[in-house]
Amino acid sequence: MKSKFDFNDVYEVVKLIPKGRITSYGAIAAYLGLKSGARMVGWAMNSVHEFKKVPAHRVLNRNGLLTGKMHFQTPTRMQELLEKEGLIIKNDQVQHFEKVFWDPSIELL
């Protein structure tokens, strides 16, 4: 039972995200069984900065917006990586978001 929020769980899920795919904080939170843990996931990503072994650029908000791009090495780093994986970024937003969306609670089923 994950009564408490664990960073390791978030990292593991994020690292499982396939190339060219993205997911949302809420999806990870839901997969971990968190209610409104979206913020917790985002907070975990803030701490991931120390580990930086997680493709955090594949984790976006519910709108498919690159909200955390500013937390990367460079604000454009996130978009560069996503475009490099075949994704299309327009105005800091992922195009075909629902097509590239990767839900751990479904894909990892």
- 79 touches DNA (CB under 7 A): no
Catalogue the E-assigned strands of the chain. Answer: 23-24, 59-60, 89-90, 93-94
* Number of residues counted as binding DNA (CB under 7 A): 31
Residue pair 28/45 in contact (Cβ under 8 Å)? The answer is: no
Give the C-alpha separation, 11 to 14, whole Å.
5
Choose, by CB under 7 A, the member of 11, 21, 25, 87 that binds DNA: 25
22 is a site residue for DNA (CB under 7 A):
no
The distance of closest approach from Cβ of residue 63 to DNA in the complex, given in angstroms and rounded to an integer, is: 6
| Region binding DNA by CB under 7 A among candidate stretches 58-66, 86-94, 99-107 | 58-66
Q: Estimate the share of the chain in helix, then strand, then coil, as percent rounded to the nearest 5.
A: 50, 10, 40
Binding site for DNA (CB under 7 A): 4-5, 24-26, 29, 35-46, 48-49, 56, 59, 61-63, 67-72
